[in-house]
Chain A
Amino acid sequence: MVRRAEFWGGLFWLAFGVFITWQGWLLELGSLREPGSGFVFFWLGLLISVLAISITLNGVRGKGPLLGELWQGARWRNVLLVILALIVFGFMFERLGFVMCSLALLLFLMTFVDPVKPVLSIPISIVAAVGVWYVLEKVLLVQLPKGSWLEGLPLVG
């Protein structure tokens, strides 16, 4: 039972449903004549909870794949690396600026996730990062972070 994906998926959504129901209650249900801000949240939370219970019960009955089977033969290390890279990117985006951050992200992905020869990865990363920056900043006039740590440098300043 506890090894079934359905069981854990259902439990996650059950927790979410209960939380939404509670939030709806806190937001005020109002009346049928004048439904309050929490009216729809409350009923949707209940609906989510009921559906989640039915999914959890499927898991309890042994239906659906085992949790381990979902990642069988998968290169899950790649997934972790990409998520990690994106989170680091998010935190450094405003500090290092678009060009440096994108360059680092592209090089990292093409070196550690699915390796590409440096003779290709380096020029592609530079052309893509600088090219996108040029099109957005200069042509489309979209403001991109310049990098608070790099203020004053010629490319970003």
Chain B
Amino acid sequence: MDVLAGLAQGFAVALDPINLLYCFIGVFIGTLVGVLPGIGPISAMSLLLPVTLSGTPESGIIMMAGIYYGSMYGGSTTAVLVNIPGEAASVVTCLDGHEMAKRGRAGPALGIAALGSFVAGTFAIIALMLVAPILAKVAVAFGPPEYFSLMVLGLTILSFLTQGSMAKALLMAAVGVVIGLIGLDQINAMPRLTFDRLELVDGIGLVPVVMGLFGVAEILSNIEQQIRRDIVQSRIGSLWPSRDDLKASAGPIGRGTILGFLLGVLPGGGAVISSFASYAIEKKLSRTPERFGKGAIEGVAGPEAANNAAAGGAFIPLMTLGIPPNVIMALLLGAFVIHGLQPGPLMMSQNPGIFWGIIASMYVGNIMLLVLNMPLIGMWVQVLKAPYKILFPLILMFCIVGVFASGNAVFDVFVMIGTGLLGYLMRKFGYEAAPLVLAFVLGPMLENNLRKGLILSEGNFDIFVTRPISLACLVVSVLLLLAPLLPALRKKREKVALDVTE
């Protein structure tokens, strides 16, 4: 009953005309950045983070959430039509989606992607609505040891799933924590690594770091090579899949939805891994696995459902524990903090309007996306035809504007340039940025909870291993850290390790 009452309150917030407008702007921009290769939801959300200041907290966060799940929808359009994933979660969609398009079946590929996304998105919202209140009640009992261990687990999972060397991923996570701790010590207000620069006393901003590591670094990597686009020229045709297509896709959508949701909830997991996992499962379950990679509609339906369900599931750790499970949720946490709100177990009781408003707006946003994507696909194709040599200077200008507006300081622009160069070199040398950014956000919370835990236990580390939840998180973390040392497990990790950059 509480859930229904909360949802009613949420719809009252979500259907407020101004919030509807923000939701529309969010899903529209999300779809646009999902469609455009070279700019993803992370860059778009960082860019718009300062804009959220001009409205109410509900409006700003509804818009930011809309960008996230909107980009999941939009990414599939680019994957199907151009064979370039608009964002990382759509990498798998390229495999069969583009093959379908080349065989004159772009319409059904786009249609099933939108339909699967809608079904999965709706399921994820319902599950979020039902699971979040229960988890929030459990999370009230969490103390510093549980929070510390959960964050360690999140960072370990992300490092484990990151492409390439695990040593490099862990190193990035450690560097991220260090950068996140620059500024005043939260416990005794001592300045740390500020080098007598006033701009560093409050720490380094999330927006310039993210824009540098993802926005600028992406541009630098793109402009050093010729981008070739293989846009499908034939007519897209009817978007509605045939009865056979729907029959073939029902199972993959169902499985992808559940799998995506579960992986989305895991700290460090998310949309990218779930889409790959769904593809692997569908290929394994298929009686004709040889069709995969040659235009099998199941290879589009499953992964698209999975990445959208994961996008919804990722809200659970943020809204109930206050822990962002991935970089995008870390940005959303930034939006909450800007408005003086702290997501976590108490949010549902202290700010029910915002909590339920966001959930209700996701229902509305999902319907908007379905309505928006089907008729506007022609327009997105036109957007895709814009040459990168015109797009990248504009994206760069938007990055600068977004960074400057976030703190009104030229210093932040220099931070963005510095982290942009660092991000570009990191890509060259095989270091992933995702663990760094997540650790950057979690760093202060991680340190705070570690120090509080030690103070509570009078310097005894037992406090982290005598509490069951904390112990379970640490055991899983240790197992994941040891896994690459075993040859068989190392091979498995390399198989699932993914590029989770954006």
Contacts and interface: CB of A to CB of B under 8 A. Distances in A.
Nearest to A110: B393
Contacts of B387: 116
B451 A35 contact: yes
A124 B450 CA distance: 52
A93 B410 CA distance: 8
A23 B191 CA distance: 12
A27 B192 contact: yes
B167 A37 contact: no
A106 B401 CA distance: 13
B224 interface: yes
Contact of A83 (B226, B401, B417, B460): B417
B396 interface: yes
Contact of B400 (A27, A58, A89, A125): A89
A114 B392 contact: yes
Given A87-B417, A114-B223, A142-B50, A106 B451 contact: no
B418 to A, nearest CB: 10
B429 A51 contact: no
Given A70-B428, A93-B413, A55 B171 contact: yes
Most chain B CB atoms below 10 A, which of A64, A76, A78, A145? A78
Chain A interface SS verdict (over half): helix
B240 interface: no
A135 to B, nearest CB: 10
B424 A41 contact: no
A48 B224 contact: no
A156 interface: no
Given A54-B167, A75-B225, A105-B393, A90 B192 contact: no
B405 A105 contact: no
Interface in B446-461: 447, 450-451, 454-455, 458-461
Q: Taking each of A9, A73, A132, which has the highest tally of chain B beta carbons within 10 Å of its own beta carbon? A: A9
Contacts of B374: none
A51 B170 contact: yes
Contacts of A16: 175
B454 to A, nearest CB: 6
Given A33-B455, A79-B220, A90-B410, A44 B177 contact: yes
B178 A20 contact: yes
Contacts of A141: 54
A119 interface: no
Contacts of B499: none
Interface of B: 50-51, 54, 165, 167-168, 170-171, 174-175, 177-178, 181, 185, 187-188, 190, 192-193, 216, 219-220, 223-226, 387-390, 392-394, 396-398, 400-401, 404-405, 408, 410, 413-414, 417, 420-421, 424, 428-431, 447, 450-451, 454-455, 458-461
28 contacts: A9-B429, A13-B171, A27-B190, A34-B455, A34-B459, A35-B450, A37-B185, A41-B181, A41-B192, A44-B174, A48-B175, A51-B170, A52-B171, A55-B171, A73-B225, A76-B224, A79-B224, A82-B219, A83-B220, A83-B421, A89-B413, A98-B401, A114-B388, A116-B387, A140-B51, A142-B50, A144-B405, A145-B410
Interface of A: 5-6, 8-9, 13, 16, 20, 23, 27, 31-35, 37-41, 44-45, 47-48, 51-52, 54-55, 58, 64, 70-71, 73-76, 78-79, 82-83, 86-87, 89-90, 93-94, 98, 102, 105-106, 109-110, 113-116, 120, 124-125, 128-129, 132, 136, 140-145
Given A33-B459, A75-B225, A132-B397, 5 more contacts: A33-B454, A35-B450, A41-B178, A48-B175, A78-B223
